[in-house]
Amino acid sequence: MLCSIRTASLFLCLTQTVLAMVLTNSTKLESILDKYSDKDEEWWRARSRGKRAISEGDMHLILDLHNKLRGQVHPPASNMEYMVWDYELERSAEHWAYSCRWEHGPSHMLTQIGQNLGAHWGRDRPPTYHVQAWYDEVRYYSYPYSQECNPHCPFRCSGPVCTHYTQLVWATSNRIGCAINVCYNMNVWGMIWAKAVYLVCNYSPPGNWWGHAPYKYGAPCSACPASYGGGCRDNLCYKDGGVDRRPAPELEETNYIEPEPEPVRDREPQPRAQTPNPSPNDNLERNQVVSTEQMCQQVDCETKLRDRCKGTTCNRYECPPGCLDSPGKVVGTGYYDMQSSVCGAALHSGVIDNDGGWLDVTRLGRKQQFTKSYKNGIQSLGKNRSANSYKVESVPVKAVRCDTTVALFCPFKKPVRHCPRLYCPRNCLHDSQTRVIGTKYYADKSSICRAAIHAGVIQNESGGYLDVMPVDKRNQYSGSYQNGITSESLLNPTSGKAFRVFAVI
């Protein structure tokens, strides 16, 4: 089934219409893949395996967001399984992504896997953009049935779509593998996209079976398959240590909807399982601190940079949607007069589209003249007088490890530069081999993720996004105990710089 979300960002969703055998393990899936590996089909042309079609960071971003969203479904799920990465599913997704065909496939595997597809062009987006968009279809879905979710297909679908959402939260779909490819001149419903970013995610066992709900309603982890041994993590059925990547499906566990189900009363969620080998201090008061301070400034469509950036380092901004209707004055091309609208300049340069988004701004000093042009629906003005200028750039997103430091990743330098938006994994709290030096201002030898937990910018249990601002060194760093982490003090450091961490909301 094909479905359109917006002109420059599209999604496809696969709905199972007939029953099919469910794979019991990835070895069976691998045998299916190998069966077709010698066929002279375009989708399976041999490629070098030296480089994966998805980075390790993007893999963790996609997997962590899937599990986060699966754990927060409403009404709550009693049998939602923790999802793990499957490299054979990644391999199958990779070969289909490299086919650059805007349709589900390959056809011979569609009864064995579930599949969500997404594509966009224009400004850069992290892969989680598509994952979140799939989940946001929940607004069209009414548990347990999806009567309202009935788009008119099969050509260009119109109307509400929710089968991306139901596949994402299908309780028994506990394995995922995805791939990303840049497709040139990709045919998307008759339109040729010169440079499309194509995301393919394959799931096993597949979801979206007619007559079944995506999950059972009840207290989290109260109806987990026996193979999980009672393990529960973040409202998901979880096997201790996550060692068994491919648990066999429990045949007696099904999401079949009875014609007249007995009403179920609301029940309190069960406590989450403790992490392995908890510290003796886990039960002590952690002096919890929460910080919602953001480095990213929210601006209106017509806000001029000169009104937001006087005598300070221009950094990161968030523009609202709909600015094509009121972009404000834009002066220049490539670089812009300080009197230009921030969002208008970002639209003109192609950094954002009419959906809004984040951008980085860097001041460039005085330019002798500014050139007018018409780009991306915005007419900029020319100017033949010298004036201060700036440029706009997209905000990159990078995944980091618990031990990543600013000194190695994004040290302070002059002129000041931007750091990517970062994504920290969960459970960095007990990584005691990494240091945290300071409070609010941290020495750049500190772990970024543990400093973010200490500052209350992210939570240990979930990890998450944050912004980092490298700054010049401090004369001293004050230690403190916050959120389970004791930071160090340091007086008169002889080397190194500093940084701050900010929330992304």
pTM for the model stands at 0.47
Mean pLDDT on 231-253: 62
Q: Is the confidence at residue 29, as pLDDT, over 50?
A: no
Higher pLDDT, 49 or 328: 328
pLDDT above 50 for 262:
no
Tell the burial category of 31 from Cβ atoms under 10 Å away from its Cβ (0-12, 13-18, 19+). exposed
Cα gap 256→258, rounded to integer Å: 6
Tens-place pLDDT, residues 329-385: 999 999 999 999 999 999 999 999 887 888 999 888 899 999 999 999 999 999 999
Q: Output 344 or 252, whichever has higher pLDDT.
A: 344
8 pLDDT above the threshold of 70: no
Q: How many residues appear in the chain? A: 505
* CB-based contacts of 54, cutoff 8 Å, min separation 6: 62, 90, 94, 127, 178, 179, 180
Task: State the pLDDT at residue 31.
Answer: 40
Helix, strand, coil distribution of the chain in percent, nearest 5: 20, 30, 55
Mean predicted confidence (pLDDT) in 14-37 = 35
Q: How far is CA 312 from CA 170, 346, 362, in A?
A: 48, 20, 11
Q: Tokens 């990213």 belong to which residue? A: 296
Distance of alpha carbon 361 from alpha carbon 157, whole angstroms: 38
What 8-state DSSP symbol labels residue 167? H
What confidence tens digit (pLDDT) does each residue in 126-185 have?
A: 889 999 999 998 888 888 766 557 655 444 455 677 889 999 999 999 999 999 999 987
First to last CA, the chain: 33
Domain extent listing, the chain? 54-237, 299-394, 397-503
The arithmetic mean of pLDDT across residues 269-296, rounded, is: 54
Of 85-99, 201-215, 241-255, 276-290, the range with the lowest mean pLDDT is 241-255
Tens of pLDDT, residues 407-420: 888 888 777 677 88
C-alpha distance from residue 194 to each of 102, 124, 312, 353 (Å): 14, 15, 39, 17
Whether 464 and 423 have beta carbons less than 8 Å apart is answered as yes
- Please state which architecture CATH assigns to domain 397-503: Beta Complex (2.170)
397-503 shares the fold of 299-394: yes
Closest by alpha carbon to 202, among 108, 102, 67, 105? 105
Least confident range of 44-58, 197-211, 382-396, 452-466: 44-58
Closest CA to 360 of 467, 265, 451, 260: 467
Average per-residue pLDDT in the chain?
Answer: 78
Do 385 and 354 meet the contact criterion of CB atoms below 8 Å apart?
no
Of the pLDDT bands very low, low, confident and very high (cuts 50, 70, 90), residue 485 is very high
Fold of 299-394: Ferric Hydroxamate Uptake Protein; Chain A, domain 1 (2.170.130)
54-237 belongs to CATH 3.40.33.10: yes
